[in-house]
Amino acid sequence: MPKIDVCDMKGKKVSEIELNDSIFGIEPNEAVVHTVLVNYLANQRQGTQSTKTRSEVRGGGRKPWRQKGTGRARQGSIRAPQWIKGGIALGPKPRSYRYKVNKKERRLAIKSILSSKVLEKQLTIVDKLELKEIKTKSMVKVLNSLKLEGKTLFVLPEKNLNVQASTNNIEDAKAILVNTINVYDLLRYTNLVLTLDTVKKLEEVYA
């Protein structure tokens, strides 16, 4: 089992923890991670883009000119696709891009990223994460104490308004709940910070 130090909010080591091999010690599967990431991004698409076909564009009820004798090409309506301000042929219409991915693949993708964070020494575990008030300055102090450079993702065991709101104004930091953990956030942020309670919940769900 991989061992990792547990720090307090001031960055001082307070203990050690043995992480579950089946979650934090597997061989990362990059192919599955890619599959689940593409699925996540597809499911975020709104699919609200829309264009009008020739039947939806206003006007065009009268034939522009007679069929023969003008020397020009035959035309039936000024709303045909070849006309300026005419309808759009084969244009996009509102649709859903959602599709499902196997539950086992989603779990494997999460475990693969968690394991890679351990291998790359980008995982930090703190005994607890609590703030007395909503204050961005306090959260910046925690980041500096933990000596975290680059984008940092905090995963909380339960709702904590002080921590979540204090992180909102920090460009390179984000706080999410353990039940909303996803592949996109785990990959987007370099550093991952978990509390001891978060580790327990992850092991309950993914072990």
Running along the chain, 207 residues long, what does each successive block of 10 average in pLDDT?
87 90 94 97 95 91 93 94 94 96 95 95 93 93 91 94 94 94 96 95 90
Is 180 in contact with 161 (CB distance < 8 Å)? no
Each residue of 64-120: pLDDT tens digit? 999 999 999 999 999 999 999 999 999 999 999 999 999 999 999 999 999 999 999
Q: For the chain, which domains are there? A: 3-45+101-206 (3.40.1370.10), 48-96 (no CATH)
123-126 vs 173-177, strand pairing mode: unpaired
13-18 vs 3-7, strand pairing mode: antiparallel
The single-letter DSSP state of residue 84 is: T
pTM, 2 dp:
0.83
Query: What's the confidence (pLDDT) of residue 3?
Result: 84
Residue by residue, DSSP assigns 4-55 as EEEE-TTS-EEEEEEPPHHHHSSPP-HHHHHHHHHHHHHHH---------TT
